Amino acid sequence: MSFNVLFIAHAPDADKNKHKSEINTGKYHLFSVVVRNQAEAVDVAREFAEEKEIDTILLCPGFSHSNVAEIYDALDGRVGVAVARGDGLSNKISAQARKRENYPKS
């Protein structure tokens, strides 16, 4: 048995079937999937929670509070949902990079 975590990130050019990875140490099993939008994020969260017995979902900073709530509600509170957020300066740097790459506003 391992601690199973799913990391989900957004990218406007993502293909959820192609842009994914998996790392398994035996005790820690990390899945990552890059999705195009919120609808795909919800679908991926449901799929992995069911098929991979995910304990926690970690979301990239681009997810809004309502996005987080939607994912949590879609899983009926059975899976922990957290967001990777930085301090003010880190958030500003990240926002500038996303703007430079023409990411949609979250």
Write out the two tokens for 91. Answer: 């958030």
Let me know the angle formed at the C-alpha of 6 by 42 and 51, rounded to the nearest 5 degrees.
75
Compute the distance between CA of residue 15 and CA of residue 8 in angstroms, rounded to an integer. 12
Question: Per-domain residue ranges for the chain?
Answer: 3-100
Q: How far apart are the first and last CA of the chain?
A: 36
Residue 97 confidence class, pLDDT cut points 50, 70, 90? confident
Q: What is the mean pLDDT of the chain?
A: 93
Residues 53-89: tens digit of each pLDDT: 999 999 998 899 999 999 999 999 999 999 988 788 8
Contacting residues for 53 by C-beta, under 8 A, at least 6 apart? 4
pTM of the predicted structure, to 2 decimals: 0.88
Which pLDDT does position 20 carry in this prediction?
99
Name the CATH code of domain 3-100 (choices 2.30.30, 3.30.70, 3.40.630, 3.40.50). 3.40.50
